[in-house]
Amino acid sequence: MADGHANGDEGLTLDDLHVGQRFESGTHAIDEAQIVAFASQFDPQRFHLDDEAARHTLFGGLAASGWHTAAITMKLIVGGGAPFAGGVIGAGGEIAWPRPTQPGDVLQVFSEVLEVTPSRSKPERGAVTLMSETRNQHGNVLQTLKARLIVPRRPPPAG
């Protein structure tokens, strides 16, 4: 994506995006140590901390915090899964976790552009709705995220 749109960033501007465009991220392998470290800091519940205790819960075994899955998804998107000029700036969205993320899962994010909307009030940018599925190595969907992103427009030619 090194087609350099002369706005101080490499990456796609709003004008380079269209509905149906797809992106695929790299991968991230998650293990028990990562799950417990994140949960200890942000979501210290027994099903995110201890495999034995988690067996007696809804999860049936150690599961990552949904917010951990979300954070890894962001890492994968920022790392090339959505190569937008100016970075990946989200205003919000809808998130769901259809199944738990477990130790040994290898996460990858598959994204598709659902909407591209130039801003009426701000000529230099617009909004993109991006649907991102986070899947494991078996193709199971661990998270869906429909996000509203702010993306810059291509600057007008100089002169």
Residue 127 makes contact with a second copy by CB under 8 A: no
Residues in the chain: 159
Under rule CB under 8 A, residue 75 binds a second copy: yes
Distance in Å, CB of 23 to a second copy, minimum: 17
Nearer to a second copy, 18 or 27 (CB): 27
Confirm or reject binding of residue 128 to a second copy (CB under 8 A). Answer: no
Among 58, 120, 121, 157, binds a second copy (CB under 8 A): 58
Tell me the C-alpha distance between 80 and 126, whole Å.
20
4: left (phi over 0), alpha (psi -120 to 50) or beta: left
CA separation for the pair 4, 10 (Å, rounded): 4
Pick the closer one to a second copy by CB: 44 or 104: 44
State the Cα angle at 108 between 113 and 8, rounded to 5°.
55
The footprint of a second copy (CB under 8 A) covers 38, 41-47, 57-58, 65-67, 70-72, 74-75, 78, 86-97, 144, 150
